[in-house]
């Protein structure tokens, strides 16, 4: 009797571990391995003698829920992106230990293929299993039910609501992803907060509320492609809106935020498209006084050369006239007239040396006056400005304070690349105050902003001949062009593929530049126009130099006249 019970018990053990199902399951796993180019098989909850691991070409590891190691185990780094997770269900729908630790084990890898294996009929509990899977973002799930020699496959489609899919053969699982691409109006949620030009809202001329902004439009297009619905949660009206939004995102209360990722956030996000630089903009340097234009065409060395030429002409003419020397002043006037390229009444040429010098002087005068005039007119056309500040180091000479909000102040105080003079002159404002001044390009301050935002703000001045603000081309810090998303988002890889494609095709950049136009339509941005004529070079001020020279000349002439009068 005892022996019988023992035999029965042994038979029972044998039947639950069911060594006969090994060849079929192994064959299925081999097929899955081949299809998904698996680099690592992770077996969870299997008895050691259960699987014939040797048959699988790719390496395998065994995890037992009973061991302490299991609780600290997490897949990451090498080989983990192509792993296949195989879980034996001992207690349907799923062993509590496994259910508890699986999300940690597969942190940020929730889209790996997971195979559940059971030998009990899953009809009554598989709904619970799949609901758990979807909640944790395990979207690629295959349930294998083995009874005797038959194998049944199940999976699930979560959209628009959870339903079980009974697959007649394994190949159907391979094509299942096509069904996952249609969301059947499943909601993709975000928050309605405004953050131009990434997400804006305004009432258009027809009185309709319009949502726009480039990140918003990117996600809107994603939902259109996948037949999903973009749902906007009400705005968080609070000073601490930012931490609240982040906590909500972490709780999966919505799916993404319309904001690029900052490196310090440590949130799950889409894969980065590029590094997003952060720049300082400062008011464009002021135009120089227009009377200064007179001396600008020539550098001081050229002016010295002009004086030297006049002196040369005078001395050489004087030296060449031999015995018939007359006044040196006459030769000075001759030389000056040549250099200024103006006519003179009569030139008496005494010999061939003088003729040569006159020809040299005429040529020199021709070249000098023409190059002067050409330079002057090109400068009048383009305008001349005080020296530009081009590096962060130069900013210490800038008279403007840097306007910031309290979110960035700590970071900027620590920034090594920013000169101490700028740090001491930082000026703190509220977020709204800062936004108002920055969007209005109030030229009393310098501002700092991420590239995407800054380009939108600077777009306002693209009609101006002389811009109001200028960007320092050195970046101050770096963010990522990636968007924070809720943890274990089931369609994250789909989103990544979509983002990479629109980025590579240039649609991303187009959406960004379109958002500037939207911001202008909404009245958040304004196209700036210059008031009146920007450059008035020929005003009275322009002739100050000429007047001064004329006055000096007249005075000198008067003095010389008086002097000579007294000598005679
Ligand atoms: C991953 O692979 C790289 C290159 O093959 C190697 O340098 C690195 O040490 C590996 N990381 C781990 C955690 O094994
Ligand atoms: C989008 O989802 C709805 C709701 O399930 C469905 O009726 C419609 O056919 C779907 N559209 C496409 C193009 O698949
Ligand atoms: C720019 O900001 C300063 C200081 O806040 C303010 O006094 C000035 O009125 C602003 N200028 C414009 C054009 O808004």
pLDDT tens digit sequence for 347-375: 778 788 888 999 999 999 999 999 999 99
Low-confidence ranges of the chain (pLDDT < 70): 1-22, 48-55, 238-240, 324-325, 531-537
- Which ligand lies nearest to the CA atom of residue 159 in the structure? 2
CB 134 within 8 A of CB 158: yes
CB 85 within 8 A of CB 112: yes
Is the sign of the CA dihedral 132, 136, 137, 139 positive or negative?
Answer: negative
Query: Cα 251 to chain center, whole Å?
Result: 27
User: What's the pLDDT at 537?
Assistant: 58
Q: Please state, in angstroms and rounded to a whole number, the distance separating the CA atoms of residues 304 and 309.
A: 9
Nearest-atom number in ligand 2 for the CA of 227 is: 1
| Both tokens assigned to 323 | 């015995």
Is 359 in a helix, a strand, or coil?
helix
Q: How far is the CA of 262 from the centre of ligand 1 (A)?
A: 26
* Closest C-alpha to ligand 2, atom 2: 184
User: What's the pLDDT at 514?
Assistant: 92
Express each pLDDT in 222-243 by its tens digit: 999 999 999 998 888 766 677 8
User: What's the pLDDT at 21?
Assistant: 44
Q: How far is the CA of 182 from the centre of ligand 2 (A)?
A: 7
Q: What is the pTM of this model?
A: 0.81
Contacts of 444 (CB under 8 A, 6+ apart): 400, 401, 437
Within 6 Å (CB) of ligand 2, which residues are found? 160, 182, 184-185, 227
Residue corresponding to tokens 């550098």 = 299
Q: Please state, in angstroms and rounded to a whole number, the distance separating the CA atoms of residues 139 and 112.
A: 8
Q: Does the Cβ of 78 fall within 6 Å of ligand 1?
A: yes
| Both tokens assigned to 53 | 């691991």
Helices (H) and strands (E) in the chain, counts: 19, 18
Within 6 Å (CB) of ligand 3, which residues are found? 437, 440, 442, 444
Is the sign of the CA dihedral 52, 56, 57, 59 positive or negative?
Answer: negative
CB 199 within 8 A of CB 211: yes
| Both tokens assigned to 280 | 């300082």
Single out the residue of 272, 269, 274, 260 nearest to residue 108, CA to CA. Answer: 269
Dihedral pair phi/psi, residue 276, rounded to 5°: -100, 115
């Amino acid at each position: 009797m005892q022996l019988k019970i023992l035999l029965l018990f042994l038979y029972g053990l044998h039947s639950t571990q069911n060594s006969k199902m090994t060849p079929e399951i192994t064959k299925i796993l081999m097929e899955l391995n081949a299809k998904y180019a698996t680099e690592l098989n992770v077996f969870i909850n299997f008895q050691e003698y259960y699987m014939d691991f040797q048959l699988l070409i790719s390496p395998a590891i065994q995890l037992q829920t009973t061991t302490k190691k299991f609780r600290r185990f997490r897949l990451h780094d090498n080989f983990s992106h192509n792993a296949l997770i195989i879980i034996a269900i001992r207690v349907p729908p799923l062993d509590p230990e496994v259910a508890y630790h699986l999300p940690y084990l597969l942190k940020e890898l929730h889209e790996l293929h997971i195979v559940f294996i059971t030998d009990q009929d899953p009809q009554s509990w598989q709904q619970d299993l799949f609901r758990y899977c979807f909640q944790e973002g395990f979207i690629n799930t295959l349930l294998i039910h083995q009874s005797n020699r038959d194998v049944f496959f199940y999976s699930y489609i979560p959209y628009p609501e959870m339903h079980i899919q009974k697959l007649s053969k394994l190949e159907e699982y391979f094509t299942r992803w096509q069904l996952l691409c249609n969301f059947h109006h499943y909601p993709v949620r975000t928050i309605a907060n405004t953050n131009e030009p990434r997400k804006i809202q305004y009432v258009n001329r027809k009185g309709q509320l319009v949502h726009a902004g480039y990140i918003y439009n990117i996600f809107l297009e994603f939902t259109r492609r996948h037949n999903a619905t973009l749902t906007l949660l009400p705005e968080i009206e609070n000073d601490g809106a930012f931490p609240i939004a982040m906590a909500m995102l972490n709780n999966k209360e919505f799916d993404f935020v319309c904001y690029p990722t900052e490196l310090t956030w440590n949130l799950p996000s889409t894969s980065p498209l590029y590094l997003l630089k952060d720049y300082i903009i400062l008011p464009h340097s002021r135009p120089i006084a227009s009377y200064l234009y007179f001396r600008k065409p020539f550098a001081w060395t050229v002016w010295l050369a002009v004086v030297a030429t006049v002196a040369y002409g005078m001395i050489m003419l004087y030296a060449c006239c031999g015995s018939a020397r007359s006044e040196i002043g006459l030769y000075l006037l001759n030389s000056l007239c040549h250099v200024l390229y103006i006519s003179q009444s009569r030139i008496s040429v005494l010999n061939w040396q003088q003729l040569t010098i006159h020809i040299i002087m005429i040529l020199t005068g021709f070249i000098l006056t023409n190059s002067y005039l050409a330079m002057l007119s090109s400068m009048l056309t383009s305008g001349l400005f005080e020296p530009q500040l081009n590096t962060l180091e130069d900013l210490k000479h800038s008279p403007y304070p840097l306007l910031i909000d309290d979110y960035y102040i700590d970071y900027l105080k620590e920034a090594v690349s920013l000169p101490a003079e700028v740090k001491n002159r930082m000026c703190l404002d509220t977020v709204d105050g800062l936004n108002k001044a920055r969007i209005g390009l109030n030229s009393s301050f310098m501002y700092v902003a991420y590239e995407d935002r800054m380009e939108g703000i600077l777009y306002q001045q693209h009609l101006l001949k002389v811009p109001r603000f200028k960007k320092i081309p050195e970046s101050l810090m770096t963010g990522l062009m990636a968007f924070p998303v809720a943890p274990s988002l089931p369609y994250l890889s789909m989103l990544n593929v979509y983002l990479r494609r629109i980025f590579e095709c240039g649609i991303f950049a187009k959406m960004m530049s379109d958002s500037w136009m939207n911001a202008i339509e909404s009245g958040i941005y304004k196209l700036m126009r210059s008031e009146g004529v920007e450059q008035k070079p020929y005003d009275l001020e322009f002739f100050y130099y000429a007047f001064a020279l004329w006055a000096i000349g007249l005075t000198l002439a008067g003095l010389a006249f008086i002097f000579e009068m007294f000598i005679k």
